[in-house]
């Protein structure tokens, strides 16, 4: 399950692109790298592109996500755009991650269109 974390200065965001299946321990490793880059770049506008991924997350994993974000240093004033595909069988899982995260005070929004996600990230 490969992933890449890349700063996109022209779009004023840090992008995490995920491919293939991933489980909760993988999410932890991805977030560690993503948040480390965000801290170095001093940019907490984060685009997480899940369109090529397959989430293997349980309901408990989803509920644990905000605690993971907090423990790894995600700032409450960060913006996280979660990009997913309508065709994804995991779209309900990604939607639930967004809901649970927002309920815990994190600014997470879901998008099907990359340009809309970037526009939202830049609107802060």
Residue-wise pLDDT for 11-34, tens only, equals 999 999 999 999 999 999 999 999
Instruction: Give φ, ψ of 31 to 5 degrees.
Output: -65, -40
How large is the average pLDDT for residues 56-60? 90
Range of the domain at 85: 3-122
Q: Report the candidate in 6, 54, 45 with the shortest Cα–Cα distance to residue 27.
A: 54
Whole-angstrom distance, CA of residue 107 vs CA of residue 99: 10
Q: How confident is the model at residue 1 (pLDDT cuts 50, 70, 90)?
A: low
Question: Rounded to the nearest 10 degrees, what angle do helices 24-41 and 59-71 cross at?
Answer: 30
Q: Global pTM?
A: 0.93
Give the pLDDT confidence score for residue 35 in this predicted structure: 97
Contact residues for 2 (Cβ-Cβ < 8 A; gap 6+): 19, 20
Structural domains in the chain (count): 1
CATH code for position 13: 3.30.750.24
Q: Which pLDDT tens digit goes with each residue over 86-124?
A: 887 777 888 888 899 999 999 999 999 999 999 999 997
């Amino acid at each position: 399950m490969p992933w890449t974390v890349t700063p996109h200065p022209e779009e004023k965001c840090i992008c995490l692109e995920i491919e293939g299946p991933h489980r909760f321990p993988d999410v932890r490793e991805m977030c560690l790298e993503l948040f480390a880059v965000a801290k170095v770049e001093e940019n907490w506008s984060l685009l997480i592109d899940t369109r090529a991924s397959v989430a293997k997350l349980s309901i408990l994993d989803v509920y644990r996500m905000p605690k993971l974000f907090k423990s790894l240093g995600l700032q409450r004033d960060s913006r996280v755009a979660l990009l997913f595909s309508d065709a994804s069988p995991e779209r309900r899982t990604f939607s639930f991650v967004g809901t649970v995260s927002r309920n815990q005070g994190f600014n997470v929004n879901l998008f099907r269109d990359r340009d809309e996600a970037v526009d939202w990230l830049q609107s802060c």
